[in-house]
Amino acid sequence: MFYHTLMAHQPPRLAQTPADTSILDEALARLSSTGPEFAGRLSNHGPMACEALLHLGRADAINHWLDAYVPRLEEAPGPGRPLAPQEWQGALGAAHRYPDWQALFELELSERPWTALVADWVPRLVPGSVAAGTHGLIRTAHATRAMAQAETLERRRELATGLAYWASQYQALEGTPAPSGAFMADQALDKIPALPFNEREPGLISDQVVRASRVEGFGASVDALVPPASVDGALSELTSAMAGWYLANCEHDPIAFVHGVTAPGALRLLLPYLPARAAQAAFAYVWQACAAIRSAFSVERPSPGARTEPPSIEELAADAVETGGAHAIKMTEACLRENSLRADSSYLLAAADAGRRLAW
């Protein structure tokens, strides 16, 4: 049903991945007994970072990276029971139902093609794009790309886990985004009202962006974005603009702005499996999430000042691996992927900064 879409939206490859990609399956097997969160609701980045390393051409670094990362993680919760059809809407955002969500998606994956599962569930979950600081969306996208490369038991389990994490952490912002204005992404972001500093509180990204979405004028500013003629093109506009906001604010809150690039970059990986109308709606919700990140965490505005020459792609990948931070690895891979579609030094400079800054 979606083959025409698949042909139009194949995501780019950054590096030649090895013919034998069993290294990723081995990594996912190592991670399969770990929970989706650890250390007080921090997201488990293990599967995402390993899949990103594969696409950075650094499969050789996966096992060593896991040796340092896995001991930090917590055990997965016990098995659940699949949610019944009439239950799922009431279970959205119910963190304690994570095992039941995982059981549901594992059951569905045993009964029908994984592409149909993604096509059905991403539109249901994307209004909650900010779930777990956008990590539900991002983990699902990395798992989907892995499944597109090879359908294995480990990858099916990881896809079920990503969707279950997204559903159990589901969290929506205020309002339904409906871009209908005249501003491009960089212009629209500049006009988003900022969450006042006295209302900013320490805590999770997902909590802060919900506060931002309640700021007076936020919804109208979100809708001031021009309706995308092409979701692919609109995603490039958005990731480029958010890379600029990362560079402007990396001294203040780099992690928040990392997700302003990796979340829309993740949606791009899911586009091949979404009907056109669902893709448009998904973009609107991810745009809303990025606007809320800008509102909640920005201190400085991007400026067109002089920029240094960015490192080479090989150097950027090496820096991310050496730094070792999961966010550095994922940010670098996302920036290089976006840059391969529409060259922009903001991507490379943002990746360079993340590769230096976002260590363990």
Q: Does residue 193 contact residue 211 with C-beta atoms inside 8 Å?
A: no
Please state at what angle helix 254-270 crosses helix 135-149, rounded to 10 degrees. Answer: 40
- pLDDT value of position 203: 86
- pLDDT value of position 8: 42
Q: How many CA atoms lie within 13 A of 129 on its CB side?
A: 31
Rounded to whole angstroms, what are the CA distances from 35 to 99, 128, 166? 10, 21, 13
Cα radius of gyration rounded to whole Å, the chain? 19
- pLDDT value of position 337: 98
Residue by residue, pLDDT tens for the chain (360 residues) are: 333 333 344 444 455 555 567 999 999 999 999 999 999 899 999 999 999 999 999 999 999 999 999 999 999 999 999 999 999 999 999 999 999 999 999 999 999 999 999 999 999 999 999 999 999 999 999 999 999 999 999 999 999 999 999 999 999 999 999 999 999 999 999 999 999 999 998 889 999 999 999 999 999 999 999 999 999 999 999 999 999 999 999 999 999 999 999 999 999 999 999 999 999 999 999 999 999 999 999 999 998 876 788 999 999 999 999 999 999 999 999 999 999 999 999 999 999 999 999 997
- pLDDT value of position 306: 62
- pLDDT value of position 220: 98
Contacts of 143 (CB under 8 A, 6+ apart): 47, 51, 155, 158, 159, 161, 162
34 φ, ψ to 5°? Answer: -100, 155
Q: Does residue 269 contact residue 141 with C-beta atoms inside 8 Å?
A: yes
